[in-house]
Structure 1
Amino acid sequence: MSVPVINGVELSEAGNGPLLLLGPSLGTSAAALWEGSAALLAEDHHVVGWDLPGHGTSPAPDDGFTMAELGRGVLAFAERTLRDRGEASGTFVYAGVSVGGAVGLQLLLDAPERVAAAALLCTGARIGTPDGWHERAAMVRAFGTATMVEGSAKRWFAPGFLEREPEVARALLASLEAADTTGYAAVCKALATFDVRDRLGTIRVPVLTVAGVADEATPPSDLQTIADGVPDGRAVVLDDVAHLAPAEAPAEVADLLRAHLEQGAVITESQRTAAGAVVRRQVLGDEHLDGAGAAPTSFTRDFDDLVTQYAWGSVWSRPGLDRRTRSVVALTALVAQRDHDELATHVRAALRNGMSTDELAEVILQTAVHCGTAAAAAAFRVAQETLRADGVEL
Structure 2
Amino acid sequence: MLIVGPSLGTGVKALWGPAIADLAPYFTVIGWDLPGHGDGTPVTEGFSIEELAAGVKALIEKLESEGQLDASQGLYYAGVSVGGATGYQLGISFPGLFKGIAPICTAAKIGTPEAWNERADLVEKAGTPTMVSGSALRWFAPGFIEKNPVVSTNLLHTLQDADRVSYAFVSRALAGYDVREQLGQISDPLIAIAGRHDAVCPPEDAEFAAARVQKGHSAVVETAAHLAPAEDPAATTQLLVDFFLGEGVAAGSDRLPGDTYDAGMVVRREVLGSEHVDRATSSSNAFTDEFQEMITRYAWGTIWTRPGLPRTTRSAITLTAMIAGGYWEELEMHVHAALRNGMTPEEIKEVFLQSAIYCSVPAANVAFKIGKKVLEEYEK
Normalization by structure 1: what TM-score? 0.61
State the partner residue of 1:38: 20
Cα distance in 1 for partners of 2:173, 2:92 equals 17
CA deviation after TM superposition for structure 1 residue 84, in Å: 3.1
Distance 1:86 1:74 in 2: 15
Measured against aligned partners, the alpha-carbon deviations of 1:188-233 in whole angstroms (never above 9, x if no partner) come to 0000010011111111111011111110111111111111111211
Unpaired runs of 5+ residues, structure 2, are 248-380
Percent of aligned pairs with the same amino acid: 46
Give the 3 Å change call, closer, same or farther, for CA 116–139 of structure 1 in structure 2: same
Find the counterpart in structure 2 of residue 78 from structure 1: 60
Aligned to 1:368: none
Q: Over residues 40-59 of structure 1, what are the superposed CA-to-partner deviations in whole Å (9 max), with x where a residue is unaligned? A: 11122110110001111111
**Which residue is equivalent to 2:369?**
none
Residue in 1 that maps onto 2:356: none
Query: Which of 32, 36, 42 is 1:54 aligned to?
Result: 36
Which residue of structure 2 aligns with residue 198 of structure 1? Answer: 181
CA distance in 2, matches of 1:72, 1:23: 13
Q: For the residues of structure 1 that align with 2:64 and 2:156, how far apart are their CA atoms?
A: 31
What's the CA shift string for 1:104-151, capped at 9, x where partnerless?
011111111211101111000000100000000001011000110000
Instruction: Name the aligned partner's letter for residue 85 of structure 2.
Output: A
Deviation sequence 1:76-115 (CA, Å, 0-9, x none): 1122223333657645200000000000011111111211
Equivalenced residues, count = 246
Contact 1:30 1:51 in 2 (8 A): yes
One of 115, 119, 142 as aligned partner of 2:98: 115
Match of 1:225 among 169, 188, 208: 208
Instruction: Say whether residues 1:241 and 2:254 are aligned partners.
Output: no
The one of 98, 102, 108 aligned to 1:125: 108
Aligned to 1:212: 195
Structure 1 or 2, whichever has the larger Rg, is 1
Matching residue of 2:298: none
**Superposition RMSD on alpha carbons, in Å?**
1.4
Work out the CA distance in 1 between the residues paired with 2:159 and 2:60: 24
- Measure, in 2, the Cα distance between the counterparts of 1:111 and 1:232: 16
| Residues 1:184 and 2:167 are matched in the alignment | yes
1:64 maps to which residue?
A: 46
Counterpart of 2:146 (choices 136, 153, 163) is: 163
C-alpha distance after superposition, 1:278-333 (max 9, x if no partner): xxxxxxxxxxxxxxxxxxxxxxxxxxxxxxxxxxxxxxxxxxxxxxxxxxxxxxxx
- What residue identity is the alignment partner of 2:14? A
Alpha-carbon distance change, 58 to 151 in structure 1, aligned in 2, over 3 angstroms:
same
Q: Which runs of 4+ in 1 moved over 4 A?
A: 86-91
Distance of 1:80 and 1:182 partners within structure 2 = 27
Residue 81 of structure 2 contacts residue 104 of structure 2 at CA under 8 Å; is this kept in 1? yes
| Aligned residue runs from structure 1 range 1-394, under 5 A | 19-85=1-67, 90=72, 92-263=75-246
Q: Does the Cα contact within 8 Å between 2:60 and 2:69 map onto a contact in 1?
A: no
Q: Which amino acid aligns with 1:260?
A: F
Q: Is the 8 A contact 1:79 1:88 kept in 2?
A: no
TM-superposition CA deviations, 1:30-73 (whole Å, max 9, x none): 00000121221112211011000111111111310111111111
Q: Could you list the runs of 5+ residues in structure 1 that have no partner in the other structure? A: 1-18, 265-394
Shift of the 186–122 alpha-carbon distance from structure 1 to 2, 3 Å rule, reads same
Task: Say if 1:220 and 1:42 are closer, same or farther in 2 by CA, change over 3 A.
Answer: same
Q: Residue 312 of structure 2 corresponds to which residue in structure 1? A: none
**Alignment partners' CA distance in 2, 1:92 and 1:23:** 14
